Amino acid sequence: MVVEKNTRRIESGIETDFSGRMDYGSYLQLDRLLSAQVPVSRPEHHDELLFIIQHQTTELWFKLILHELRAVRRQLRGDDLRSAMKGIARIKHIQHVLIEQWPVLATLTPAEYAEFRGDLGAASGFQSFQYRAVEFLLGNKNAGMLAVFEALPEAHRLLTELLEQSSIYDEFLALLHRRGYPVPEGLLDRDVRQAHVFEPALLPVFKEIYEHAHGNWDVYEACEELVDLEDNFQLWRFRHLKTVERIIGMKRGTGGSSGAGFLRKALDLTFFPELFAVRTEIGTDNG
């Protein structure tokens, strides 16, 4: 039935008295959430709210990604591959949202941004502890990154903890070992404070899995999920780089780096190098 006068009648059962009961705003702490957008430009620049909200929404999604990645790591450790795959599927959807969000910020013109960039001081996404935590959990450890968090004890503690713990990839390789795959010993007791570096001896392990996917289906699927995760992470980095190029060109960054050139180097970082390298080996008989 169509609504009359294009106006929906409020049903009599709709709750309007919330005394002593939970309501939407209090559950979500909207008072706190919606008062946390505080532009610093004076006079306030119209576009600074876009800039703040793009960052805040990203940080909220980073928070959920971290929550899910920790669960995935636990599930892998407990040989619960199915639950781990479900977690990774959710993370992949979040990554798509984050990648698709870049065009919103790209509506900020170079001239508009230049009007309030000077008010941002030394603030930079380089100081995002959650972004760094995601990199650490995926296995790209870098102790040097902790330096910018010296004055932030909680962030520093979190990153130190993650630096010293195993990554998703460490746990996946340990799971493969428990299942009888010949994962090199050196990877199972490696110094987890270091970034994982390419290990050629893993290639025959993945070659076997990829060439006989039907006999290794769940681990094969897991490999492909990890490839998707890295692929999406790189797409985010690439969209960030391209957005930066179109908004500030080759200017140095507020965080002190060379800017776009520094960000481009991040595209050479990799979490699961052997899962990409194995592609070259498929269908060949060298190993």
Ligand X SMILES: N[C@@H](CC(=O)c1ccccc1NC=O)C(=O)O
Q: Residues interacting with ligand X, by CB under 6 A? A: 55, 117, 120, 123-125, 248, 253-255
Q: How far is the CB of 96 from ligand X (least distance, A)?
A: 20
- Pick the stretch among 19-27, 89-97, 166-174, 237-245 that binds ligand HEM (CB under 6 A): 237-245
266 binds ligand HEM per the rule CB under 6 A = yes
Cβ atoms of 149 and 124 within 8 Å: the answer is no
Residue of 262, 276, 277, 281 interacting with ligand HEM (CB under 6 A): 262
Q: How far is the CB of 11 from ligand HEM (least distance, A)?
A: 41
Q: Nearest CA to 274 among 175, 178, 184, 212?
A: 184
The DSSP result for 216-284, as a single string, is GHHHHHHHHHHHHHHHHHHHHHHHHHHHHHHHHTTPPPTTSS-SHHHHHHHTT--S-HHHHHHHHHTT-
Contact partner, 120, from ligand X, ligand HEM, none, Cβ < 5-8 Å per class: ligand X
**And the tokens for 51?**
């800039």
CB of 196 or CB of 239, closer to ligand HEM: 239
CB of 139 or CB of 202, closer to ligand HEM: 139
- Rounded (10°) CA dihedral 91, 96, 100, 101: 0
Alpha carbons 141 and 164: distance in angstroms, whole number? 9
CB count in 10 Å sphere of residue 96: 13
Binding residues for substrate are 51-55, 113, 117, 254
Binding residues vs ligand HEM (CB under 6 A): 54-55, 58, 105, 113, 124-126, 128, 131, 240, 243-244, 247-248, 253-257, 259, 262-263, 266
